[in-house]
Chains A and B, each alone.
Chain A
């Protein structure tokens, strides 16, 4: 079937295949047997994206609240970036060429919010100086998603500035229709090629899938417990720097870094060296503006020593500064921060409290 190209994915005649759950499993198996594949694997009761060699090891339909983001496949918690050796002839510095994440791969069971997070991160990793490691990983990855059937407790992706229904952040979208059939849709050229390679079912020549896919989305969109008026909140956040609400809203935060580490869009890192005598390695690893020592400078000056200042930086960076700089919000509404927070702080609640769009927590949603 020829793809009729149109800028607006909305009206694009996307290649769509119709199959059933058994056909979907076969498709997954076919992909796993022909490509290096990552998928959600259960570890200690939650799901992480790990390399898999058979469908029995993983669950592409893993539950949203227990699935951690696939950020580590593009920006791992710790990456070696350099080695050096000092000998009597001097020092030699070298690239660490063995990047386990650089090869061509397919990721199954991607959530749309996570995929959107990569598009958001593209701005900061590609502006001015191009981060070649990240670019390579992005280029070599094909994302096969499973669109959520319903929103989890802390999700609010539909309230933000991205088009959840038609997003082109994924290459192949798997949608489980309300009619029991499974619709597999290509949303990019890479996706189209994969589906041509392993056609999962019947090609939809009649176009009937579009209606079923729309119905699934309508049911999904109606299942949200949280919603907010993003435009109002965003406009208010711009002028909220001096708001006293930050102090109250962050009073029970314990500054532990968890929210930033699990967030699919948080990208701050630290550079550190480790050495043994004359050899050493340089690492790049996760860091967070929530950390007390993030802005600590030599000599002792620390502008964000007080906790609410760090929370203010975090919330403002996500909902105001990044948008000002790059045009997109640095939060995709996935709710992973709230799920992981030891004291259940919700950034949704905090931002609304600061923007004064709710009066107390109990009014945020029924």
Chain B
């Protein structure tokens, strides 16, 4: 069947039906329980040739349909450099996500539309030091970029990953974090909010650890951050205090998106549509949006 796209810079959105709002079927290959309320669903297209054709850049999102229950927006949490599958990390937070956690098992089928949205500014990040600041489920979109950058390691300079969660049980991707810690070309700093018996490293909220432990230099560095709204707010304040410029702070916005196509109006802030002009924004661009959220 045909896709009907005009003037989009990248041409890889999967639509095998004429109606743009109809999803394409995927099978759940694996479910990984990351934390008590977050699961990662490893997905493959039901039709194998589609899986080969499907590609995306870090930062993009998909619309995930649990058919009969509803549709949600999730970022793709893995990089296209790792072929044959893509990951969505889903936190149980509302009606549809509750149904997803309760009803879906490995082998079951769900619907996917996408990829939509813009992506991290990969060209501008080349050659720079990258500082990733993540909190809780916010590591998911960052993971896509981290994996991409590791797979293209020579394109980037120093890597630092600062990641925190409320408790040690709430840290996502525990196995992958160990891999990152073993990788000598990366620096990983973890933190949790309150002390725990078996926790030996940092204790404190992410912005505090950023200022007191990481103490990043601003030269030639770009910061990519994502997490709960309150964490992003204070992280950006800390980064400004440390001297970072607005255009060097990059975040991905969590605003309610629905169609992903710039038509339903839900994600409209000012003259921006988060699903088309975002969800990746620099702090400079965020300052230009009306102060609504």
The chain A residues found within 8 Å of chain B, CB to CB, are 81-82, 84, 86, 90-91, 93, 95, 124-133, 241, 267-275, 280, 282, 284, 287, 289, 294-299, 301, 303-304, 309, 313, 316-317, 320-322, 324-325
Contact = CB atoms under 8 A, between A and B. Distances in A.
Taking chain A's interface residues, is the majority helix, strand, or loop, or is none over half, making it mixed?
A: mixed
Nearest to B3: A129
A93 B25 contact: yes
A183 to B, nearest CB: 38
A296 B256 contact: yes
B264 A280 contact: no
Contact of A303 (B65, B258, B293): B293
B254 to A, nearest CB: 8
A304 to B, nearest CB: 7
B71 interface: yes
Q: Interface extent on B, as a size class?
A: 35 or more
Given A91-B109, A130-B4, A273-B67, A282 B21 contact: yes
B271 A321 contact: yes
Taking chain B's interface residues, is the majority helix, strand, or loop, or is none over half, making it mixed?
A: loop
B259 interface: yes
A219 B17 CA distance: 51
A274 B71 CA distance: 12
B198 interface: no
A304 B292 contact: yes
A280 B67 contact: yes
Contacts of A322: 271
A91 B112 CA distance: 13
A131 B67 contact: no
Contact of A271 (B71, B256, B271): B71
B264 to A, nearest CB: 5
A129 B261 contact: yes
B193 to A, nearest CB: 18
Interface in B75-116: 93-97, 109, 111
Nearest to A304: B292
B20 A270 contact: no
Contacts of A86: 67, 109
Contacts of A280: 67-68
Contacts of A317: 265, 268
Contacts of B5: 128-130
Contact of B22 (A93, A268, A316): A93
